[in-house]
Amino acid sequence: MPHLAPPPILLTDVLDEVGDAVELLARHAPYTPLGGWYNPGADPTAKTRPMWFQNDWVHDTYTAPGSELFLHHPDYIEATKAYFDAEIVEPHSVYVNHMMAIDKAGPCHTDNPRFAGRDRANTPMWVLRTMFWSGLFDDEAIPQATAIWWLNDVDGGALRYWPDGWDEPAVEHGGRMTNTALLGDNHGMFHQVCAVGSGSGTPLVSPSAELGPVDVAGGDWAISDLGEQVFRAPLDEIRVSVLWKADVFRDEAHRVQLRDQPLSLDAVAERLGADADRFDDPDHQAEIVARFPEPRPTDALPSVYDR
């Protein structure tokens, strides 16, 4: 088993002006439904997705204008240095989630890990996750800080998380979430979003649906789907979170070590007792995954994406 993450840090009054985030949210609309990787190749006109919308503001090759508000937030940098006892923090991702009317929780999960020379671009996700849960690659893991910031308080939508490990009870951050953020290591801590809304079912939308403001002055946002407006509400009633991620290095030597000593796929396979030539073979995958099983908290809530 890998090292457990310490409990996350709750930050309050994160932004001086929450209105800056509201303006940014509108500027970078529209948002599109989450879930492509659960259902790849889905019919773009079939209403299969819950009303959980997303957009990237910062990734490898793009930085949305204004997203520096989160990307370079000084409180995030300082809290990350303290949490990881580290000198170097390199923010690399910001993305946004909007959720409404989802009467089950989101998936209980840990975020996908990265290692020296190994990430989702060159390594199957099940291999990365098995590397993590094997505990055999802790020295090559690239520590990742995550901060989740919330715009508002809505019905439901608490973050349920396991600060003391998957075999200890969950706790929830809910009720007073406006302008707070939880900062820690979501790659080493299970977490899930609780049901959002007043419990009147989970209306579904098509993968081509779009969410955005209809009238900035009035504060209303709406979903248009297949040429029809299927949902409209004030932004206040939509659960909005902004996620931030950063690479973290203890010091320059640690950064250089992870950069200059990339793991080859064969080295990974050897340490797992696997055969890299058979990574595409479902039987081999099942055998290796069973050797290093991923735990699941017993008090996880059923997910809207469960089949």
Site of interaction with Fe ion (CB under 5 A): 111
Q: Looking at beta carbons only, is 67 or 186 nearer to Fe ion? A: 186
Q: How far is the CB of 91 from Fe ion (least distance, A)?
A: 17
Q: Looking at beta carbons only, is 109 or 254 nearer to Fe ion? A: 109
Q: Looking at beta carbons only, is 24 or 159 nearer to Fe ion? A: 159
Q: Looking at beta carbons only, is 130 or 241 nearer to Fe ion? A: 241
The C-alpha angle 51, 221, 95, rounded to 5 degrees, equals 60
Q: How far is the CB of 191 from Fe ion (least distance, A)?
A: 6
Beta bridge partners of 247: 90, 144
Would you say 101 and 95 are in contact if contact means Cβ atoms under 8 Å apart?
A: no
Q: Where do the DSSP E strands lie in 159-275?
A: 159-161, 171-173, 181-184, 191-193, 204-205, 210-215, 220-225, 228-234, 239-249
Closest-CA residue to 187 (of 148, 228, 143, 227): 143
Nearest residue to Fe ion by CB is: 111
Would you say 46 and 205 are in contact if contact means Cβ atoms under 8 Å apart?
A: no
Cα–Cα dist 277/109, whole Å: 28
**Cis amide linkage into residue 30, ω under 30° from 0:** yes
Cα–Cα dist 180/177, whole Å: 5
Total length of the chain: 307
Q: How far is the CB of 112 from Fe ion (least distance, A)?
A: 9
Q: How far is the CB of 146 from Fe ion (least distance, A)?
A: 7
Q: How far is the CB of 142 from Fe ion (least distance, A)?
A: 17
One-letter amino acid for residue 89 of the chain = V
Q: Looking at beta carbons only, is 31 or 161 nearer to Fe ion? A: 161
Q: How far is the CB of 17 from Fe ion (least distance, A)?
A: 27
Q: How far is the CB of 284 from Fe ion (least distance, A)?
A: 28
Cα–Cα dist 161/185, whole Å: 11
Q: Looking at beta carbons only, is 162 or 221 nearer to Fe ion? A: 162
Q: Looking at beta carbons only, is 23 or 111 nearer to Fe ion? A: 111
Q: Looking at beta carbons only, is 159 or 209 nearer to Fe ion? A: 159
* Helix ranges (DSSP H) in 30-115: 68-71, 74-84
Would you say 159 and 246 are in contact if contact means Cβ atoms under 8 Å apart?
A: no
Q: How far is the CB of 148 from Fe ion (least distance, A)?
A: 8
Q: Which two tokens stand for residue 87?
A: 């000198």
Instruction: Determine if residue 305 is left, alpha or beta; phi over 0 gives left, psi from -120 to 50 gives alpha, anything else beta.
Output: alpha
DSSP element (H, E) containing 269? helix 265-272
